[in-house]
């Protein structure tokens, strides 16, 4: 599988990126390498880091109270973030709910982020205009993309607000700060404000911006960060309900 992925990444132009933001579900990949999955996860990541490409991985822990340790608090969103924290030198952003891990040459990009998860000086903002690509690694695009919430925030979506959290953030024994914020739905029970990516996906697929490789009844998808960012922004400007179930 590694050889096949390497060929696809070359053809898709992914290796021209400075940053690769990885959404992943490693269950299929691991099923190919049951004898030594750790070795092959490292080989997969080295496809990028050996070329000077920095990998950025969500490591959301949703720590809404108490304390969050940048070095120790586990990710609640999949295998890869926790694997990296145990096995590879990394940097992690300080947001207690929506943190990101980065490895490779420019991993410091996630350091000292702004207090708003999706707003000014967030990881999403920093990756824009930085030759970034998204890689959905066996994770369906229909499940969404958190860049949506950045687009909502820069456009002041009326159905969301910036909520501050009392979580105390540490890096080992060093206290960093508290008061980090996240852009949340105002009414969590209002069904018409529930998130949906279905409307967006129909529009995106028509643009032919996705490079797709089918593997083992699933997909590996590559798409440029800036193109996706700008398309989401344009779609929202045209239809303020594009990201929610309200018609």
CB count, 10 Å around CB of 99? 28
Name the more confident of 1 and 133.
133
Encode pLDDT of 126-168 as tens digits. 999 999 999 999 999 999 999 999 999 999 999 999 999 999 9
Asked if the structure places residue 193 within a domain, the reply is: yes
State what percent of residues in the chain have pLDDT above 70: 100
C-alpha to C-alpha distance for 85 and 87, rounded to whole angstroms: 6
| Distance spanning both ends of the chain, measured CA to CA | 42
The pLDDT value recorded for residue 77 is 93
Asked if the structure places residue 82 within a domain, the reply is: yes
Structure tokens of 124?
Answer: 């999403």
Q: Tell me which residue range forms the domain holding 114.
A: 2-238
Separation in Å, CA 58 to CA 74, 105, 199, 234, 247: 11, 18, 24, 25, 30
Does residue 97 register a pLDDT over 90? yes
Encode pLDDT of 15-61 as tens digits. 999 999 999 999 889 988 998 999 999 999 999 999 999 999 999 99
Asked if the structure places residue 246 within a domain, the reply is: no
Structure tokens of 237?
Answer: 């400007």
Asked if the structure places residue 247 within a domain, the reply is: no
Q: 31-40, 45-54, 101-110, 113-122: which has the minimum mean pLDDT?
A: 31-40
**Cβ(203)–Cβ(231) below 8 Å:** yes
Q: Is the pTM of this model over 0.85?
A: yes
Asked if the structure places residue 87 within a domain, the reply is: yes
- Cα angle 60, 230, 184 (rounded to 5 degrees) comes to 35
Helix, strand, coil share of the chain (percent; to 5): 35, 25, 40
C-alpha to C-alpha distance for 105 and 230, rounded to whole angstroms: 26
Can you spell out the DSSP letters for 194-223?
SB--HHHHHHHHHHT--EEEEETTEEEEEE
Q: Is the alpha carbon torsion for 208, 213, 216, 219 positive or negative? A: negative
Name the more confident of 216 and 63.
63
Domain total of the chain: 1
Asked if the structure places residue 243 within a domain, the reply is: no
Asked if the structure places residue 225 within a domain, the reply is: yes
- Cα angle 83, 124, 130 (rounded to 5 degrees) comes to 95
Asked if the structure places residue 99 within a domain, the reply is: yes
The secondary structure of residue 41, as a DSSP letter, is: H
Phi and psi at 83, nearest 5°, equal: -60, -50
C-alpha to C-alpha distance for 85 and 75, rounded to whole angstroms: 9
The pLDDT value recorded for residue 1 is 87
C-alpha to C-alpha distance for 210 and 66, rounded to whole angstroms: 40
């Amino acid at each position: 599988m590694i050889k096949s992925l390497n060929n696809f990444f070359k053809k898709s132009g992914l290796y021209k990126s400075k940053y690769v933001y990885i959404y992943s579900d490693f269950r299929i990949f691991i099923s190919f390498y049951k004898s030594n999955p750790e070795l092959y996860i490292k080989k997969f990541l080295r496809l990028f880091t050996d070329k000077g490409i920095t990998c950025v991985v969500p490591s959301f822990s949703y720590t809404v109270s108490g304390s969050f340790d940048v070095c120790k608090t586990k990710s609640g969103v999949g295998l890869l973030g926790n694997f990296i924290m145990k096995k590879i030198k990394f940097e992690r952003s300080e947001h207690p709910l929506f943190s990101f891990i980065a490895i490779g040459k420019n991993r410091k990009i996630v350091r000292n982020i702004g207090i708003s998860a999706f707003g000014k000086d967030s990881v999403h903002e920093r990756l824009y205009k930085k030759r970034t690509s998204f890689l959905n690694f066996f994770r369906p695009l229909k499940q969404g993309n958190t860049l949506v919430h950045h687009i909502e925030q820069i456009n002041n979506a009326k159905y969301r607000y910036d909520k501050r959290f009392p979580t105390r953030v540490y890096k080992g024994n060093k206290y960093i700060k508290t008061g980090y914020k996240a852009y949340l739905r105002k009414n969590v029970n209002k069904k018409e404000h529930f998130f949906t990516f279905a409307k967006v996906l129909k529009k995106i697929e028509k643009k032919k911006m996705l490079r797709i490789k089918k593997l083992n009844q699933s997909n590996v998808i590559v798409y440029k960060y800036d193109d996706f960012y700008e398309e989401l922004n344009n779609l929202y400007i045209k239809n303020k309900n594009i990201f929610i179930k309200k018609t």
